Chains A and B, each alone.
Chain A
Amino acid sequence: MDNYKILKLNVLFAGIVIICSAISIISVLSVSVLLNKKEYGIRIAFGYTKKSIMKSIFFEVLLLQIIAVVLSFIYVYYSYVNSKISAFNLIYLSTLRTYSLISLIVLLMVFLAIVMTVPLYILSRYEPAMLIKEEE
């Protein structure tokens, strides 16, 4: 196989991994929102707004994703640094430091926006009174 085909396969594989992880994160977050419904209702009853709760969920997920991105970036970066020195490695490293980093940040934002849509929509459908009532 030539390099172009390998690259295409890599992109396809990466795409499938991203879609699968997005689906699993959406499911986990949606279930988590439903399980914590009562807590959100209690918080709203004592002075929180639905918006402030949505914001806190958003930042919780953002923090987790930043940690994941930083760790994976460090891992990939050092795996190139520690591998055999070659012309390819030098190109990969400089790409990682420049284009890949920017693309990763953009990808993170898009990914975050996609995975947060469903759980936040679920939460927005409930009236504050319903959040507590449903559990009782």
Chain B
Amino acid sequence: MIQLKNIYKEYRTGDIITKVLNDICLEIRKGEFVAIMGASGSGKTTLLNIIGCMDRPSKGEYILDGICVNKLKDKKLSEIRNKKVTFVFQNFALMEKYTAFENIELPLLRRHLSLHERKKIVTDVAKQLGIEEQLYKRPKQMSGGQQQRVAIARALASGADIILADEPTGALDHKNGLEFMNLLQQLNKQGKTIILVTHDKEVASYASRTIHILDGRILENV
């Protein structure tokens, strides 16, 4: 389903070239729960951004469901981000100005759905995650755990099959972190592909496969 072939990523600042990813070859099948582990600066978030079409590789091929993604134009990439892959970020990445409902509704706004249809999807997802009482609150009025649930509700509302989570428990306390990981595990059992970036071994233990990255190279894939 996800195939990365000899992926390189480098950033240029004037004459200085920083190599972030070095010859990454990876395959992730549909329905897998994969953890990407590595120290800070090892390139794991960059790899996740490439998988999520938020960034393009400098060299190499990224094939998603048989389509070579790195040759696609911005519009097609945005369609992939809207329908095929979705994100859960460390700091929740909720829009402060908007309510939980409006945040969850975000991926649906690009789909020409009526307000009634959007409301139904958002309410269903909120019920599933137990946050229907929080729907008209703004992020600042919610606890960290509730905010992370809103973030995952937004990911689920998109209906995407691949959930990319970048240090999703990083801003949560231990109890909420475990709850969140159980939630991810449940979603994985329902058929969602989950790719998780973490440096926490306990968090990674929920995954069925762990990939270790060091200095932009895959060290271990077990």
A residues with CB within 8 A of B: 38-39, 41-52, 127-129, 132-133, 135-136
Can you list 30 A-B contacts with CB-CB less than 8 angstroms, sorted by A residue number? A38-B93, A42-B93, A42-B95, A45-B52, A45-B54, A45-B81, A45-B89, A46-B81, A46-B82, A46-B86, A46-B106, A46-B107, A46-B110, A47-B78, A47-B79, A47-B82, A47-B158, A48-B78, A48-B110, A49-B75, A49-B77, A50-B74, A52-B78, A127-B54, A128-B54, A129-B46, A129-B55, A132-B89, A136-B90, A136-B91
Question: Would A51 and B74 count as touching, CB distance under 8 A?
Answer: yes
Question: Would B90 and A44 count as touching, CB distance under 8 A?
Answer: no
Taken together as a complex, chains A and B put the C-alpha atoms of A50 and B78 apart, in Å, by: 9
B217 to chain A, nearest CB (A): 20
Question: Would A129 and B49 count as touching, CB distance under 8 A?
Answer: yes
Question: Would A127 and B55 count as touching, CB distance under 8 A?
Answer: yes
**Quick one: CB contact mask for B143-169 with A, threshold 8 Å, 1 for yes?**
000000000001000100000000000
Taken together as a complex, chains A and B put the C-alpha atoms of A9 and B94 apart, in Å, by: 52
Chain B residues with Cβ under 8 A from A46's Cβ?
A: 81-82, 86-87, 106-107, 110, 154, 158
**Quick one: CB contact mask for B67-83 with A, threshold 8 Å, 1 for yes?**
00000001101110111
B102 to chain A, nearest CB (A): 11
Residue of B46, B91, B107 touching A47 (CB-CB under 8 A) = B107
Taken together as a complex, chains A and B put the C-alpha atoms of A49 and B53 apart, in Å, by: 12
SS of A interface (majority): helix
Number of interface residues of B (CB under 8 A): 28
Chain A residues with Cβ under 8 A from B54's Cβ?
A: 44-45, 127-129, 132
**Quick one: CB contact mask for B46-64 with A, threshold 8 Å, 1 for yes?**
1001001011000000000
7 closest A-B pairs by beta carbon, nearest first, are: A47-B82, A129-B49, A129-B54, A46-B107, A47-B110, A49-B78, A129-B55
Taken together as a complex, chains A and B put the C-alpha atoms of A127 and B110 apart, in Å, by: 21
A45 to chain B, nearest CB (A): 5
**Quick one: CB contact mask for B102-135 with A, threshold 8 Å, 1 for yes?**
0000110010000000000000000000000000
Tell me whether A44 and B78 are in contact in the complex, defined as CB-CB below 8 angstroms, given that A128-B54, A128-B55 are known contacts.
Answer: yes
